[in-house]
Structure 1
Amino acid sequence: MTKKYSNDLIYQLLYAVCILIPFLNIYELTFFVWFLTATITVTNRYSFTIVKYIACFSIILLTAFIASFFNAESTYNFFRDIAYLLKPIVGLLVGYQLYKKCQGKFFSTVIYTGIILSIAHLVIVLITFLRFHTISVSLLRAYCGYHSDYEVYILILLMFHKKLHLNWSTKTVNFYILIVALSTFLYLSRTNFIQFIILYLAIKGYFIMNKRALIIMSTSILAVVLGYTAIYQYNPQRGGKGIEAFLYKIKIAPIEPFKTKINKEDWKDFNDNYRSYENIITVRQVAAGGTESILFGKGLGATINLGRQIWTNDGELIQYIPILHNGFATVFLKSGVFGVLFLIIFMILLAKPVKSDLVSVININRLLIGTAIFLIVSNWVFMGLYLKLDNKSILLGFMVCYRELLIKNQLLQKESISDT
């Protein structure tokens, strides 16, 4: 019993470290810890479901690897891209294998890790306020982080803890919700707000089409449209203070990723629509390589020439970029349309529910459907599972394994009953 408890604690700590370490923003360290964890937790059996997910990302990597032989790139860029394209694969394995190793109180570990992350974020916000004697959108984003998808998942899990059979007291859950909700809000991330709405609608079952779902979805869309219209009419200005700066980001959100004409000499136009600029340049430069580049990409180590130098969030001055904000565009650059196709296939597979009458399984199915829908947004603006700060792949691997073991235990119980 003591040995089992000790092993469980080790795996729980490993999970927490793997979730928290990306926020140090040192990708080499993140990859090392994840890869080491995946290696030491290897199991002897994997489900066909997790194999299919991993196969999608493996095909993207393999396609980029083969394409790289037809495009000369630096050795450093080549190996760096291998590490980046391996990230979703390693993350899925880490989450899947850790849950298989430690099933007992592992779901609570997932939530406690998120609470630790929220508390750390709130402490950083407080330190930032004490340092500058004020708080603003720019200070929050520059010193406290840009977003945290993981905390949004934790908020959803806490709000619907009864659906997932987490038997905690209402008082405790409400206290945790307050901490995580406040932390999530203070990221002032448009993507996280969208994520919350999508996951909330998903776990309520509104993405399974019926009359009630259509009414709710229509009402939600109408509310979003009216809310955006109100913000647009208010016309928040660039460089505004306080909440106006955040409202300005919301105002330009529908245009920012899709604009097709950008004046790179106009710093306002360039900065406000930088994601679109990256996409335009990527399509133009990949297409210049001909049909083979369009179909199979420019391979590992490929970069995009922005035509001017820019400062990154990490304080580097660069002109040639290997990784874009857009996950679809990054995969297109490395492995072409073929790679993008398998990225889409992964999201379709993720959204495919597993048949079961277990309430917990049904709700995990709904969370995965919501995740697949959110990944469309996440890939478009934040690299999806490829983002170096992202840890969703670990959580996905965990949920897949959790769902499988729930179904397995139900089957064992039915067999036991039939035998008696």
Structure 2
Amino acid sequence: MKLTIPNNIFYQFLFLLCVAVPYLDIFELTIATWSLTFLITIRNNYSISLFKLIIPYFLILLIAFIVSFNYDYQRYFIIRDITYLLKPAIGFLLGYQLCQRNFKNAFKLIVNTGVFISICHVIIILNAIFIHGTRTVAELRFYSGYFSDYEIYTLIILLFYKKFELDYSKKKALILTLLVGFSAFMYLARTNFIQFLILFLALKGYFEINRKSITIFASIILVSVVGYFIVLSVNPRRDADGVEGFLYKIKVAPLEPFKTKINREDYKDFNDNYRSYENIMTIRQVTRDGIRPTLFGKGLGSQIDLKQEVWLGDMNLRFISILHNGFMIVFLKSGLLGIFIYLFTIFYFFNSSKSDNPVVNQITLLFIGTGVFLFISNWVFLGFYNLTETKSILIGFLIAYREKFK
């Protein structure tokens, strides 16, 4: 049997590396890897469509940069905010450039990368269970990760592999789908479940308003409401293990990001609704300084005082500059003007122009689903600003692929 090495194997490796490195949760390593790869793969021409997406991110950064001259922030936090706010734009550019080098095997590369990540995740899960003796949902997620947007996209592409013109046999497609599906499910991330549902409905074409789509959404809402009341009737315990612990997370999910009053002295109330607490503190501390910071934010290097130390990641922090809410982080750095600009980065994905190429139409549907999901993702998981997200590379990659045909 003759082993054939693709002539673009180096660029395939770079794509895999850039998608995989954020899973290590070392932001400095991610930025270094992405920046170096960007320089290696830089192009001399880019599409207008790509610039329509990344220019708003640069404008948000520019506003925050100008505003920061009015304050005396530490240089370290200013530099960190610059790299942080640049991360989505770098990801889009990276994906765009790498697609140019991997155009012929684009979707196989996307799937193979997702499969690799899934295999690694399953190995980590087995290690957590059999080596560390993990028995609870919280412990499992601590060892094996909290979410994976990229694997959800991979799973969706595998479920619709024929429409993406992947020449897999039914057996191979089934095996890969089960592997990636199991890995994605084991993150036990509510946001990922919602992401999967939204993208699946988008690829089925149910976001086009008609009688069938209205019936589908009415059924989903009905099932969700009934299911939630069943969870409430079960009344899962806060400190429960396994399935009951996961049900408790579902129980508190609807109110967790939207509560307007939280008792800091009540440990359960504070921890169960911490995301809302961040939002409350951000709005309160930005608006109390007057109309100027409300409109333009408090600039690069700005932080929020939580009024008490909170265990975040691997350290206790009272002052934080990175939040859980994408809209709030933009509001903190560049105010209401920044949020208005930021909305353009979401509405960008609702451009539903038709194409003669069926794969391009599938990408368009995937983008529509992405736009819907971003409203939820930004509210609870920072959207493209998340430190460990990798979907920005995938989106840039798909933009380049779509532009090849347009």
Identity %: 48
**Deviating more after overlay: 132-141 vs 300-309:** 132-141
Residue 414 (structure 1) aligns with = none
Residue 30 (structure 1) aligns with = 30
Q: CA deviation at 1:406?
A: 2.7
Residue 130 (structure 2) aligns with = 130
Residue 296 (structure 2) aligns with = 296
Looking at structure 2, the residues matched to 127 and 388 of structure 1 have their Cα atoms a distance apart, in angstroms, of 25
1:286/1:294 contact within 8 Å kept = yes
Q: Within 5 Å, which residues of 2 pair with 1:133-152?
A: 133-152=133-152
Looking at structure 1, the residues matched to 104 and 201 of structure 2 have their Cα atoms a distance apart, in angstroms, of 29
Residue 14 (structure 1) aligns with = 14
Q: CA deviation at 1:359?
A: 1.5
1:364 aligns with 2:338: no
Change in Cα spacing, 1:169 to 1:6, as seen in structure 2 (3 Å) is: closer
Change in Cα spacing, 1:5 to 1:103, as seen in structure 2 (3 Å) is: farther
Looking at structure 2, the residues matched to 327 and 7 of structure 1 have their Cα atoms a distance apart, in angstroms, of 40
Q: Within 5 Å, which residues of 2 pair with 1:224-243?
A: 224-243=224-243
Looking at structure 2, the residues matched to 161 and 348 of structure 1 have their Cα atoms a distance apart, in angstroms, of 27
Residue 387 (structure 1) aligns with = 386
Residue 285 (structure 1) aligns with = 285
Q: Deviations over 1:316-341 (max 9, x none)?
A: 11100000000100010001111111
Q: Within 5 Å, which residues of 2 pair with 1:53-202?
A: 53-202=53-202
2:65/2:300 contact within 8 Å kept = yes
1:12/1:106 contact within 8 Å kept = no
2:135/2:241 contact within 8 Å kept = no
Q: Deviations over 1:270-307 (max 9, x none)?
A: 00000000000000000012111011100000000000
Looking at structure 2, the residues matched to 274 and 363 of structure 1 have their Cα atoms a distance apart, in angstroms, of 37
Looking at structure 1, the residues matched to 360 and 226 of structure 2 have their Cα atoms a distance apart, in angstroms, of 35
**Deviating more after overlay: 334-343 vs 126-135:** 126-135
Residue 325 (structure 1) aligns with = 324
Q: SS where residue 10 of structure 1 aligns?
A: helix
Equivalent AA in structure 2 for residue 370 of structure 1: G
- Number of matched pairs: 403
Equivalent AA in structure 2 for residue 197 of structure 1: L
Q: CA deviation at 1:134?
A: 4.5
Looking at structure 2, the residues matched to 241 and 5 of structure 1 have their Cα atoms a distance apart, in angstroms, of 48
Looking at structure 1, the residues matched to 157 and 136 of structure 2 have their Cα atoms a distance apart, in angstroms, of 29
Looking at structure 2, the residues matched to 149 and 349 of structure 1 have their Cα atoms a distance apart, in angstroms, of 19
Q: CA deviation at 1:6?
A: 5.8
Q: Deviations over 1:136-189 (max 9, x none)?
A: 201111111001111111100000001111111010010011111111111110
Residue 413 (structure 1) aligns with = none
Q: Within 5 Å, which residues of 2 pair with 1:314-353?
A: 315-353=314-352
Equivalent AA in structure 1 for residue 396 of structure 2: G
Change in Cα spacing, 1:126 to 1:404, as seen in structure 2 (3 Å) is: same
Looking at structure 1, the residues matched to 344 and 235 of structure 2 have their Cα atoms a distance apart, in angstroms, of 39
Looking at structure 2, the residues matched to 6 and 43 of structure 1 have their Cα atoms a distance apart, in angstroms, of 21
Q: CA deviation at 1:133?
A: 3.5
Equivalent AA in structure 1 for residue 41 of structure 2: T
Equivalent AA in structure 2 for residue 77 of structure 1: F
Looking at structure 2, the residues matched to 133 and 27 of structure 1 have their Cα atoms a distance apart, in angstroms, of 29
Q: Structure 1 unaligned runs (5+)? A: 408-420
Equivalent AA in structure 2 for residue 400 of structure 1: I
**Deviating more after overlay: 99-108 vs 52-61:** 99-108
**Aligned alpha-carbon RMSD (Å):** 1.2
Q: CA deviation at 1:7?
A: 4.9
Residue 47 (structure 2) aligns with = 47
Looking at structure 1, the residues matched to 135 and 177 of structure 2 have their Cα atoms a distance apart, in angstroms, of 23
Change in Cα spacing, 1:134 to 1:275, as seen in structure 2 (3 Å) is: closer
**Deviating more after overlay: 234-243 vs 278-287:** 234-243
Looking at structure 2, the residues matched to 195 and 106 of structure 1 have their Cα atoms a distance apart, in angstroms, of 22
Equivalent AA in structure 1 for residue 347 of structure 2: I
Equivalent AA in structure 2 for residue 275 of structure 1: R
Residue 254 (structure 2) aligns with = 254
Change in Cα spacing, 1:12 to 1:238, as seen in structure 2 (3 Å) is: same
Q: TM-score, normalised by structure 2?
A: 0.97
Looking at structure 2, the residues matched to 403 and 118 of structure 1 have their Cα atoms a distance apart, in angstroms, of 26
Q: SS where residue 209 of structure 1 aligns?
A: coil
2:205/2:365 contact within 8 Å kept = yes
Residue 418 (structure 1) aligns with = none
Looking at structure 1, the residues matched to 5 and 338 of structure 2 have their Cα atoms a distance apart, in angstroms, of 43
Looking at structure 2, the residues matched to 232 and 363 of structure 1 have their Cα atoms a distance apart, in angstroms, of 38
Looking at structure 1, the residues matched to 174 and 405 of structure 2 have their Cα atoms a distance apart, in angstroms, of 27
**Deviating more after overlay: 139-148 vs 275-284:** 139-148
Looking at structure 1, the residues matched to 60 and 252 of structure 2 have their Cα atoms a distance apart, in angstroms, of 32
Looking at structure 2, the residues matched to 387 and 116 of structure 1 have their Cα atoms a distance apart, in angstroms, of 21
Looking at structure 2, the residues matched to 236 and 370 of structure 1 have their Cα atoms a distance apart, in angstroms, of 32
Q: CA deviation at 1:382?
A: 0.9
Looking at structure 2, the residues matched to 5 and 134 of structure 1 have their Cα atoms a distance apart, in angstroms, of 40
Q: Structure 2 unaligned runs (5+)? A: none
